[in-house]
Structure 1
Amino acid sequence: MALILAPDEQAILTAASALAEGKLVAIPTETVYGLAADATNGDAVAGIFEAKGRPHFNPLICHVSDIAMAARYAVIDPLSRRLMDAFWPGPLTLVLPLKPDTAIHPLVAAGLDTIALRMPRGVAGKIIAVLDRPLAAPSANTSGKISGTSAEAVADDLGQKIALILDAGPSEVGLESTIVKVDGDGVLLLRPGGLTAEDIEAVIGGKLNRIDQRAAIQAPGMMVSHYAPSAGVRLNVHEVREGEALLAFGPERARGAERALASFNLSQTGNLREAAANLFDFMKRLDSLGGAVIAVEPIPFNGLGEAINDRLVRAAAPRVSSIAEMEQIK
């Protein structure tokens, strides 16, 4: 079972040492907990795919300690640099061209000529600075399942497969990072997340461009089926069926809510930031009850609601594990 440590200075050194030895470490970030490995060590990166059961065609986010480290591995255009200055450290990932002969192992990019880079806040950034190498760190959960937002959730899922978990309490944001890519004079939103489209648009002075979320994978988190509980997921419900578990939102309940096997309210007041922070934890709790279906009340699409609905749509999608399966449901 993984050793769980509070993230003090000694634990940060212990984590950096384990990562330098090619081990896997679950680290807290402001978004969700990440399953980290030295991004320059192919064996260690392969260990991420093995531990998660993650398809090798699904690229990984690379985490850096500062913009200077990002510049070692990627070509940074002026607009991407402006976004880094505005939102790093924070829940924004930028997809950038890889530099030639980079030390990043090819498994991280999954055969693409780009790399997804993020600078996390807090403990994760300190570990990367000590290691002085970027960390490949997808969410710390079995691939396609609910992301871990606490050390306990990570231990329950992956505790037998990894060396160490740093426990900094519940994740602050609770959703994975927003992923964007500069495309000519515009910016593509590849995955909505913990930074709202409106915040990004205020910096770039225009609207984000959006792509078909069933398009070819250009970044992590773009698989059609993702973030899924074992139970089925039924969205935008206005009436709860017998035996369903209920994921509620706001002060008003769907008809028949009293029939629910159990219910959790993402935010009684309809606060989207609170809902985002609670999403994965509450889905995991409802899923643990063993019911066949989780019914989800409607959630608005504005602000963080876009990212919340993105995760819910992917959780409700047909479960896929390969490009061939993805093509069948397009």
Structure 2
Amino acid sequence: MTRVVKVDPLFPDERSLREAADLLKKGEVVVFPTETVYGIGADAYNEEACRKIFEIKGRPADNPLIVHICSFSQLEEVADGYESFRDFLERFWPGPLTVILPKKSQRISDVVTAGLPTVAVRMPAHPVALKLIEMLGDPIAAPSANLSGRPSATSVEHVVEDFMGRVSLILDAGNTPFGLESTIIDLSREKPVLLRPGPVEVEKLKEFFPDLVVPDFVKKSEFRGKPLAPGMKYRHYAPSKPLILVENLEKMKDVLREFPDHVVICVEERKELYRDRIVIGSLKNPYSIAQNLFAALREAEKREKEYIIVEGLEERGILFAVMNRLRKAASRIVR
């Protein structure tokens, strides 16, 4: 049986989090909120507990987990080579940024890092996540709280859809603020490399790292080889129905004719063009589009339509990350 416990997202009561911390100490898996999406977590130092995450999610074993910390002292426990990036990390932590660093602690098992000599680390900004890590006393290894390949969970309703009866406890702190997974940057190489775009935008990263490498697979969402971080290799974020991403909007009429039984996901500024539609947000507030993305995908798959058609967006700021997720979710891309 799964218990759902409501917690205040800004001022979480320790009594509300005690049950979750105790379960983690016993090697159980719990779902908790972060500022990006909900996470499904285990004590990062408990190898068997971390194995449960892969089993519950149906996650491939070569897809590493992110280790969530609450302090720089915990960072010192798990990773090497961060001191030269201290100013950068202090600028964006706590926050929606994950960094890849050389693994230090033998307490972080190969299960967590998928056998890699590096570890993915972040310090979340959500008060519930930070307090839970602090109460546990160890870092928490956690990917997004969705069944592998499904749209990520940005509300407790999404978590319940995927994990009711699969986990012992879900902490409900309402909708997650950003609605999109963290930015991932690899700091273990000669030059910093962007592995996944997210709420910390490429433009902001380049203020610190003018030589930032943005590989083709980030732009095209096509990756081959051993993934260095979550979200690189496998199809992600996909609804249960075929999703057609129309990057060239001049071809939209042709796509609508080809797939007549459809619902369209579009922005506020273009909603009058479509009869069956889900409005994802406004171009005047691009972060609203990111925040609503996964909720829109989950809503679309519940509509009595055969296909989901999504408008492409200009790849600037946070919308670069939105397009990265849509390409990974798409069954077909129209360019």
Instruction: Give the letter aligned to residue 91 of structure 1.
Output: P
Structure-1 residue corresponding to 2:263:
245
SS at 2:216's partner residue? coil
Question: Which sections of structure 1, spanning at least 5 residues, go unmatched?
Answer: 319-330
State the alpha-carbon separation in 1 of the partners of residues 40 and 235 from structure 2: 20
1:278-297 map, 5 Å: 278-297=292-311
Deviation at 1:202, TM superposition (A): 1.8
Question: Do residues 37 (structure 1) and 42 (structure 2) align?
Answer: yes
Q: Indicate the residue corresponding to 1:6 in structure 2.
A: 6
Structure 1 stretch displaced more, 283-292 or 108-117: 283-292
- Counting only pairs closer than 5 Å after superposition, residues 1-330 of structure 1 correspond to structure 2 as 1-7=1-7, 8-99=13-104, 102-121=106-125, 122-182=127-187, 184=189, 186-204=191-209, 206-213=210-217, 214-216=223-225, 217-236=227-246, 237=249, 238-239=252-253, 240=256, 241-253=259-271, 257-258=274-275, 260=276, 263-317=277-331
Superposition deviation, residue 141 in structure 1: 0.6
Shift of 1:81: 2.1
**Comparing 80-89 and 171-180, the one that deviates more:** 80-89
Q: In the alignment, is the contact (CA less than 8 A) between 1:67 and 1:84 conserved in 2?
A: no
Query: What residue is the counterpart of 2:10 in the other structure?
Result: none
2:192 partner SS: strand
On the 8 A contact 1:251/1:270 being kept in 2, the answer is: no
Provide the C-alpha distance between the structure 2 equivalents of 1:73 and 1:86, rounded to a whole number of angstroms: 20
Deviation of residue 317 (structure 1)?
4.8
Cα offset, 1:183, TM superposition: 5.1
Measured at CA, do residues 59 and 113 of structure 1 come closer, stay the same or move farther in structure 2, by a change above 3 Å?
Answer: same
Note if contact 1:227-1:315 (Cα within 8 Å) is conserved in structure 2.
Answer: yes
AA aligned opposite 1:178: T
- How far apart are 1:106 and its partner, in Å? 1.5
Q: 1:88 to 1:156 in 2, by over 3 A?
A: same
The Cα offsets for residues 110-145 of structure 1, whole Å up to 9 and x where unpaired, read as: 011100000011111111011111111100010011
Question: Which moved further from structure 2: 75-84 or 140-149?
Answer: 75-84
| CA offset digits 1:81-101 (Å, max 9, x no partner) | 2221110000000000011x5
Return the alpha-carbon distance in structure 2 between the equivalents of residues 273 and 128 of structure 1. 27
Asked whether the 8 Å contact 2:118–2:188 carries over to 1, the reply is: no
**Contact conserved, 1:80 with 1:94, CA < 8 A, in 2?**
no
Are the equivalent residues in 2 in contact too, given 1:86–1:203 (CA < 8 A)? no
Conserved? CA contact 2:183–2:198, under 8 Å: yes
Distance in 2, Cα, partners of 1:107 & 1:254 = 49
User: How far has the Cα of 1:104 moved from its partner?
Assistant: 1.0
Residues 252 and 38 of structure 1: CA distance in aligned 2, closer, same or farther (over 3 Å): same
**1:290 and 1:109 mapped to 2: Cα distance?**
40
TM-score, length-scaled by structure 1: 0.90
For 1:226, the aligned partner's letter is: H
> Retained in 1: the 8 A contact 2:43–2:49?
yes
Q: Give the percent of matched residue pairs that are identical in Structure 1 and Structure 2.
A: 38
Find the counterpart in structure 2 of residue 325 from structure 1.
Answer: none
In the aligned structure 1, how far is the partner of 2:317 from the partner of 2:84? Answer: 22
Deviations 1:234-259 (Å, cap 9, x if unpaired)?
1125233421111112412485x22x
SS at match of 2:85: helix
* Kept in 2: contact 1:39–1:136 (CA 8 A): yes
Tell me, which stretches of 5 or more residues in structure 2 are unaligned?
8-12, 218-222
Structure 1 residues 48 and 290 mapped into 2: Cα distance closer, same or farther (>3 Å)?
Answer: farther
* 1: CA distance, partners of 2:271 / 2:84: 44
How many aligned residue pairs are there?
Answer: 312
SS state at 2:185 partner: strand
> What CA distance in whole angstroms lies between the structure 2 residues aligned with 1:254 and 1:234?
20
**Preserved CA contact (<8 Å) 1:254 1:297:** no
